[in-house]
Structure 1
């Protein structure tokens, strides 16, 4: 329960009981990220379904507002930083990391965040109110990705989120969540796209960026969610 509280506190703005963290709790909490994603998804689905009874666009806006609000725009911030870094790097990886570390946002970051929010809004409108189960599963599946990437891809920094969770995922964690995902695919076939997105995004991060940082994990979760939303719409 202590590590679950740590995961909820980091990934959301939901109230959690105060717990005394022990060494290694923050890194180990990554194993519970998909469970926190399911909580996020349930809140998003409930808001979207309820508001969609009045109007589908209102449902999409409510779902998006809860999605951003409950996560504190944490992953959107990472997406903006990655976009700024890639836009300003011009092939220089050191410059890219310096720009990503800068707390200020640039034009590339603004454009990426606006496009991401607009894309999610339209896709949510196409899904609601009928496909609310997909909205519970998508944030959970997207938060499987850091477990895989933290184990399989190198960290680009010696400190920070990306470095702290490197290697924190155990083989049995991946096997356990893979079995859960396989069971979920029986009910929601859209989840079959999860391994493909994991591989595609992981490959792109490795080739284009060189590895993982906290910002890259955040951007990856955002892109993963959008990819699954597109899959749900097409399905």
Structure 2
């Protein structure tokens, strides 16, 4: 159970047993349980959507967004903001890597963050299916493992980098039910995350960082919600 608890504790704010120091290679094993951690997150979101369905759409969307951010500790949002400052800067790759390490936020972070949160709020206010809310986080966290293993780590010291070269086959097995239920969302999420990862790797000199992993998760979730809205309209 330790790999599961490591994945849950890394990706969410759910309480987990005291695990002590993370040993070398443990995050690779934990990466197989990323989709399971996604189901845990999605289960709470789906339940919250069902309990708040009588509220006005805008208010329900805001509450779901706040819950989503709280359950992830804003880990992925922080990665999106840092990545925006670094990847959009007109600097060479080594300077962009330094920007990723800077704790301060610049104008790119505020602009991208505002637009992203506004879009995600509107997508949640559109009333996505609780089943999609259950499955989407699992799909995204499996899809994350694909670019994570395709591109080297730009900064090998982080826990995200330690998750590379894990048991992606087992992760696929866990994510498969969600992908079967929502195949178009899963395809769109994977393509969007691969395209963003390719662009980010070129901007950073060939590798990806933990901040970029967070950005990929945020963008993947919004793409999945957007495709869900589009399918309901057609």
User: Structure 1, residues 18-66: CA drift from partner, whole Å, max 9, x if none?
Assistant: 1345522233212111110111111112212321212222221111111
- CA gap of 1:185–1:7, structure 2 versus 1, over 3 A, is closer
- CA gap of 1:234–1:194, structure 2 versus 1, over 3 A, is same
Return 154-163 or 178-187, whichever deviates more: 178-187
Which consecutive residues of structure 2, in runs of 5 or more, have no partner in the other structure?
A: none
TM-score by length of 2: 0.88
User: Structure 1, residues 124-183: CA drift from partner, whole Å, max 9, x if none?
Assistant: 11134xx1111111111111133222221111123223432232x2xxx33344455454
- Check the 8 A contact 2:93/2:203 in 1, yes or no: no
C-alpha root-mean-square deviation of aligned residues, in Å? 2.0
- CA gap of 1:56–1:231, structure 2 versus 1, over 3 A, is same
Query: Which residue in 2 is equivalent to 1:48?
Result: 49
Query: Which residue in 2 is equivalent to 1:19?
Result: 19
- Check the 8 A contact 1:37/1:143 in 2, yes or no: yes
- CA gap of 1:106–1:91, structure 2 versus 1, over 3 A, is closer
Asked if 1:184 is matched to 2:178, the reply is yes
Q: CA deviation at 1:221?
A: 0.6
Matches of 1:22 and 1:181 in 2, distance apart?
Answer: 25
Query: Which residue in 2 is equivalent to 1:5?
Result: 5
- Check the 8 A contact 2:45/2:134 in 1, yes or no: yes
Query: Which residue in 1 is equivalent to 2:218?
Result: 222
Q: CA deviation at 1:218?
A: 0.5
Deviating 4+ runs (over 6 angstroms): none
Which consecutive residues of structure 1, in runs of 5 or more, have no partner in the other structure?
A: none
Matches of 2:21 and 2:14 in 1, distance apart?
Answer: 18
- Check the 8 A contact 1:51/1:58 in 2, yes or no: no
Query: Which residue in 2 is equivalent to 1:119?
Result: 119
Q: CA deviation at 1:197?
A: 2.8
Asked if 1:32 is matched to 2:28, the reply is no
TM-score by length of 1: 0.88
How many residues align? The count is 228
